[in-house]
């Protein structure tokens, strides 16, 4: 029994070191990946906040990071759609432009994000890249429609800017797969 203790300690130590090395490699991968994007800090905080980024390994590592960013775009789209619903209730005079914004962000959610996820999973990153390009177009369409109707400040400009930046980060990561 006394002879087993050092062996168990060695195995435990090796397992912990391997886990630390894997975390270090993932940390380095995340930083290196984010350095290649237009919004380093946004990329870093988004990837570091998702536990999947610490589990990536092998050939699918960049694909997983791309999926994480596309999921962030999806979450932001849902947040924007909820905000649009709130604004419709509190500002009925904005119904027309907000309705167009809702349609635009619904397209982001139902088409662009869905296509991007499927394309990444199937190994066709070009279609995922196109989906992230479309997110920018939809966000701009929303803003333009609001400006057309109201000539006022765009009430969701911060959220719009955030989703555009997220989609550009996602696109940059996806381009690494091309």
The sign one gets for the Cα dihedral 90, 94, 100, 101 is negative
End-to-end CA distance of the chain: 55
**3-class DSSP state for residue 167?**
helix
CATH topology of domain 4-175: Butyryl-CoA Dehydrogenase, subunit A; domain 3 (1.20.140)
Q: How much is the pLDDT for 120?
A: 98
Residues ≥6 apart with Cβ < 8 Å to 130: 115
> pLDDT digit string (tens) for 118-167?
999 999 999 999 999 999 999 999 999 888 876 667 889 999 999 999 99
The position carrying tokens 């000539």 is 151
Helix axis angle for 61-90 and 157-175, nearest 10°, is 160
> pLDDT digit string (tens) for 91-104?
998 889 999 999 99
Mean pLDDT of the chain, nearest integer? 88
Contact, 170 vs 43, CB < 8 A? no
Q: Which residue, 91, 49, 77, is CA-closest to 163?
A: 77
Q: Which residue, 175, 70, 172, 75, is CA-closest to 118?
A: 70
32 band by pLDDT with thresholds 50, 70 and 90:
very high
Q: Where are the domains of the chain?
A: 4-175
């Amino acid at each position: 029994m006394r002879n087993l203790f050092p062996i168990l300690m060695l195995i435990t130590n090796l397992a912990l070191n391997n886990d630390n090395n894997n975390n270090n490699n993932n940390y380095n991968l995340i930083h290196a990946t984010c350095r290649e994007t237009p919004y380093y800090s946004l990329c870093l905080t988004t990837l570091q906040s998702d536990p999947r980024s610490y589990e990536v390994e092998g050939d699918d590592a960049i694909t997983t990071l791309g999926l994480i960013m596309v999921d962030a775009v999806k979450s932001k789209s849902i947040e924007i759609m909820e905000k649009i619903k709130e604004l419709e209730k509190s500002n009925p005079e904005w119904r027309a432009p907000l309705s167009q914004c809702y349609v635009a962000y619904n397209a982001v959610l139902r088409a662009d994000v869905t296509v991007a996820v499927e394309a990444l999973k199937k190994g066709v990153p070009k279609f995922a890249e196109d989906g992230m390009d479309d997110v920018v177009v939809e966000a701009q369409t929303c803003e333009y429609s609001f400006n057309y109707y109201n000539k006022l400040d765009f009430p969701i400009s911060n959220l719009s800017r955030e989703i555009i930046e997220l989609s550009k980060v996602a696109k940059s990561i996806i381009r690494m797969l091309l």
